[in-house]
A and B are shown apart, each in its own frame.
Chain A
Amino acid sequence: MTIQFYWQVPTRGDGRLADAAVKLRGERSNDQPYFTAGVTDPRGRQFNYYDHLHQIGKAAELAGFDGLLVPNDPQGEESWIVAGYLTRNTRRVKVLAAFDSARGSAVYAAKNAVSYQRYSNSRFAWQIATPADAAERRANGDFIDDADIPQRTEEFVTVARHVITETGYSFKGRFFEVLEGGFKGPLSGQAVPQVFLTGQTAADLAVSAKLADVHVFGALPLAELKPHLERLLELSAKARRPVQAALRIDLLVRETAAEAVHDAARQARQQGQTALPDQAGLWALQTPGTGAARATLVGDADQVIATLADYAAAGIRVFQLGAVPALEEAYRIGEQVLPALRARLGLTQQQAA
C-alpha cells in the first residue's frame, strides 16, 4: 500500500492565522512601510509573494510531503505559472496544478504539460475542476451549461491523453477538435499527467470512473463519506480501471487538544461564525485564505493521526492537506503528524518520487 500526502500551496493571502488578507507575506505595498520611520527596513521592494510561495514549496519538500497542490483560485496567482515556478525550484515532490477545462485548446494544454514533464522528471499532475457557479464561469469567458460540463471534461482529458501518447490522432467532439495530432521526437513518450477529478455527485463519480487516476472527495465525517467512497470503488471495478480515492481536508493541529480548540474557535469567530468549535474533531470551519477545504480536522497530533488513519483504513490513498500559515504548518505537520501516521500505516518514511 502506498499513501501520498500533498500539501496545499495557497496562491494568495497566506500568513499568520486569520489576518492573512491584511498583508501579503513577502510583499510590500507601495507606500505603507511595515516599520516605523525610526527603524530602517533593508528589504526595499525586492521580494514579493513568489518568494513566499518558494519558501512553502521548499518547506513541504523538506518536511516530507509527497506533492504540492496548487489550487485554481480566480482571486490568486495563476496555477500553471505557480506550478512551473515551484517545479523548477523543488527536486522530489509532485506538483499538482488545478485548473478548469475552459482554459483553452486541450492540445495546447497537453503540449505545455509535456514540457512540464520533461523538465521535472515527470512530477507534474492535473486536477481539473470547473466552477459550479455559472456566474463565476461567465466571468471566465465560459458560458457552458451545467449539464455539459462532464462531457467537456471528458473530451479535454481524452484529447490530451491521446496527443501525448500517440501520433496521427484525430478527434471531433462538441468542444474540442484535432486533426492528425500528437507529439513527436523528444516530446513523445512522456507520461500523461496523473488526472485528479473532484465532486460528490453520481455524475462526478461516473466521470471519474471513466477518466480519473484519482478522485478527490471534500472533507466529510467518515460515516458520511463511506457510501460515496464505496460507490467510487464499485464504479472503478466495473470500469476495470483503478481509481484512487483522495481526501481534501484542512488540519488545525496544536500541542494539546485544548490549544487546537481554542485556535479553531478564534478562527471561527474571525469568520463571523456563532457556533464555535468546543472539542477536537472535524469542524465545518473554513481555513482562511485560498482554496479552503470544506472542513477542518481540529485536535492534538495523536487525535489527528488517529482520524486520518481511519480514513486510510476506509480506502483513502491520497491526502490533500492544508493549513494556515502554509509554511509553518508544513513543518508542524511534517514533524508531528506524517512520521507517526506513516509508521502507523506501515509506510516507509519517504516514498520515491
Chain B
Amino acid sequence: MAIDIFWRIPTHGEPSSLCNKLHHRGDWSQQEGDHIVHRGLAGGGSDGFNSLDYIAEVARAAEISGFHGGLIPSFPMTDEPWAISSFLARETSTFRFMIAFQPGFLNPVTAARMTASLQRASNGRALFNIITGGGGPAQLWWGDVAPHDDRYARTTEFLDVLRGLWKGGSYSHHGKFYQLENAALPEQLLGQDFPEIYFSGSSDAALVSASQHADFYLSWLEPFDQLKEKFDKVKEKTDKLGRKVKCAVRVDIVARATEEEAWREVRRGFENLTDADKERYARFAQQTGDSVGANRQRSNTPKNLDNYQDFILHPNVWSGFSLLRGGQTNGIVGSYEQVAERLDDLVRLGADSFILASTPHLEEAYRVGEEVLPLLQGHSARNSVLRAVG
C-alpha cells in the first residue's frame, strides 16, 4: 500500500505568487491591465480562449508532475466541477477529477448517470469530494432546504441510492428523502469503477455518514495532535462499523530550496497585507457558524496580527494562510526536505492521502512534483517512529 497525492485546481483564478493580490490568471480581476487578456487571432476574430484554458494547463501540469489528479472545489463565486470535468475529460490522460459537490443539489439517478458517463468519457478518472457542511441561509442560496443534521442523513441515503444503481439491474428505493421505482442504469454504463469518495465534515453526524460511505476522510490541516485525535476517532468509529476508512489531508504548502527562502515568501505576502485585510481576518476569527471544521480552525488565531512569526504553530506549520488568500488557515512552510518530512509526519499519525496546493498552481505543480514528491517516504515512513514535533 502507498499513499495517493492530489493537487488542487484554482477555480477562482489566481495571482502569480502569494505576495501578489491581483488575480492575473482567470477573470476574477477585471481592472485594466491586471489580468491576462486573450488577444484574439492574429488575423482578427476571437481566439476562443477563456479561463478554462489556464485550468486545463494546471491539470496537465499536475498529471505530468506525478499527481493523481486534483480537487475541483465548488463555491458560490466559482465555476462548477462537473462542467470542468466533462470539458477536460478528453484533453487529459491520467488526471483524476475530484468533483466537490453537495448531494442535495442533484437527483441521485441523474447523478448516477452523470457519474457513469463521466467515467466512460474519462476512462474511470472521476471521484468525489462529498460536502454536506455549512447550513442556514447559505444553503438556501443554492436552492436547498434541508436543515443541518438532516442533511447528513440525506447524504447517506443519496450515496446508498448511487451504490444501489451502480450494481445494475432494477433498483427500487423508498427512503426518507428519495423514492425510486424500477430504476436502472443502462447496460453500457455499468461495470465502471464506483468513484472513490473523499468525505468532508467534522460534526458527529458527519462521522456517522462517513463511516458508511467514505473511502477517505478529508480534513484540513490542524495542529498535529488535534489531527491525530480526529483521525483516531474516525478510524475507531468506522472500524466498528466494519468499514476501513482512510484519512486524507488537504494542505497548502510553500516549499523552496531552503527554509529561509520559503519563509521569505510568506513574510513578503504578510508584509503586503493592508489593515483592512487584517481586520477582515480578525472579524472572521471571532465569528462562529454551523461549520464545526471552520470553528476548529478559528481557535488557533493569535491575539495580535503584527508579526508573521506569531502564526507559527509547529516547526514548518504556519496558521496565517487565510490572510494571504481565501480558504483554510494552516499550511506547511519550509525547505523541500522539511516539507517532505512534515508530510511524512502526517502519514505517521494517520494520513493516507494528500491534496496539496501552492500558489501559483501551475508552476508549483512542477516544483512540488519535481522537488518534494520524490523525497516522500509515504507509507514506508510508518515503519519509523514519529519524531517529536512542536
Interface window among A48-56, A222-230, A231-239: A48-56
Which of B47-55, B237-245, B263-271, B307-315 is the contact stretch?
Answer: B47-55
Residues of chain B from 60 to 118 with CB closer than 8 A to chain A in the complex? 76-80, 82-91, 104-111, 113-114, 116-118
**Interface residue ranges of B98-150 to A (CB < 8 Å):** 104-111, 113-114, 116-118, 120-121, 123, 137, 140-145
- Chain B residues with CB below 8 A from A183, complex form: 76-77
Which B residue's beta carbon lies closest to that of A87?
B87
Whether, in the assembled complex, A348 has its beta carbon less than 8 Å from a beta carbon of chain B, the answer is no
Distance of B41 from chain A, by nearest CB (Å)? 11
Q: Which of chain B's residues have a CB closer than 8 A to the CB of A12?
A: 186, 188
Instruction: Verify if B28 is at the interface (C-beta below 8 Å from A).
Output: yes
Q: CB of B32 within 8 A of chain A?
A: no
User: Which of A174-182, A250-258, A295-303 lies at the binding interface?
Assistant: A174-182
* Residue among A82, A112, A141, A181 making CB contact with B83, cutoff 8 Å: A112
Task: Please report the C-alpha to C-alpha distance between residue A303 and residue B77 in the assembled complex, in whole angstroms.
Answer: 52
A159 to B181, CA, bound (A): 28
The answer to whether A178 touches B143 (Cβ under 8 A) is yes
A180 and B106 form a contact (CB under 8 A): no
Q: Which of A88, A108, A118, A139 contacts B109 (CB 8 A)?
A: A139
A78 CA / B189 CA spacing, docked (Å): 10
Task: Assess whether B87 is in contact with A119, with CB atoms less than 8 Å apart.
Answer: yes
Q: Is the CB of A107 within 8 A of B82?
A: no
- A108-143 residues with Cβ-Cβ distance < 8 A to B are 108, 111-112, 114-116, 118-119, 121, 135, 138-143
Q: Which residues of B contact A24 (CB under 8 A)?
A: 188
Residues of chain B within 8 A of A108, CB atoms compared? 80, 105-106, 142-143
| Number of cross-chain contacts by CB at 8 Å | 174
A103-B107 CB under 8 A given contacts A78-B114, A178-B143: yes
Residues of chain B at interface, number, CB under 8 A: 59
How does the 8 Å CB contact mask read for B346-389 relative to A, with 1 for contact and 0 for none? 00000000000000000000000000000000000000000000
User: Which residues in A have their C-beta under 8 angstroms from that of B111?
Assistant: 104
CB 8 Å contact bits of A74-85 with B (1 = contact, 0 = none) = 111110111111
The reply to whether the CB of B46 lies closer than 8 angstroms to some CB of chain A is yes
Q: Which residues from 59 to 115 on chain A have a C-beta closer than 8 Å to any C-beta of chain B?
A: 74-78, 80-85, 87-89, 91, 99, 102-108, 111-112, 114-115
Complex partner residue of A105 from B28, B51, B106, CB under 8 angstroms: B106
Instruction: State whether A105 touches B120 (Cβ < 8 A).
Output: no
> Could you tell me if B140 and A139 are in contact, using CB atoms closer than 8 angstroms?
no
Q: How far is the CA of A121 from the CA of B46 in the complex (A)?
A: 10
Contact (A177, B145) CB under 8 Å given A78-B110, A115-B79: yes
CB distance from B326 to the nearest CB of A (A): 13
Question: From DSSP, what is the main secondary structure of chain A's interface residues?
Answer: mixed
Please indicate the chain A residues that have their CB under 8 angstroms from the CB of B86 in the complex.
80-85, 88
A306 interface contact, C-beta 8 A:
no
Q: A89-B90, A181-B143 are contacts. A141–B188 as well, Cβ < 8 Å? A: no
A176: chain B residues within 8 A (beta carbon): 143
Q: Which of B26, B80, B140 contacts A177 (CB 8 A)?
A: B140
The answer to whether A186 and B27 have CB atoms under 8 Å apart is yes
Q: Is the CB of A141 within 8 A of B137?
A: no
Asked, given contacts A84-B83, A84-B86, A135-B182, whether A105 binds B105 with beta carbons under 8 Å apart, the answer is yes
What is the 8 Å Cβ interface bit string for chain A, positions 232-270, against chain B (1 contact, 0 not)? Answer: 000000000000000000000000000000000000000
A344 touches B (CB below 8 Å): no
B207: CB under 8 A from chain A? Answer: no
Tell me if B178 is interfacial: C-beta within 8 Å of chain A: yes
When distances are taken between beta carbons in the complex, the residues of chain A under 8 Å from B253 are none
* Residues of chain B with a CB closer than 8 A to A177's CB: 140, 143, 145
**B91 and A88: CB pair below 8 A?**
yes
Residues of B at the A interface (CB closer than 8 Å) are: 13, 26-28, 30, 46, 48, 50-52, 76-80, 82-91, 104-111, 113-114, 116-118, 120-121, 123, 137, 140-145, 161, 178-184, 186, 188-189
> 8 new A-B pairs (CB below 8 Å) besides A12-B188, A116-B83?
A24-B188, A50-B90, A80-B86, A81-B118, A115-B83, A141-B183, A177-B140, A178-B142
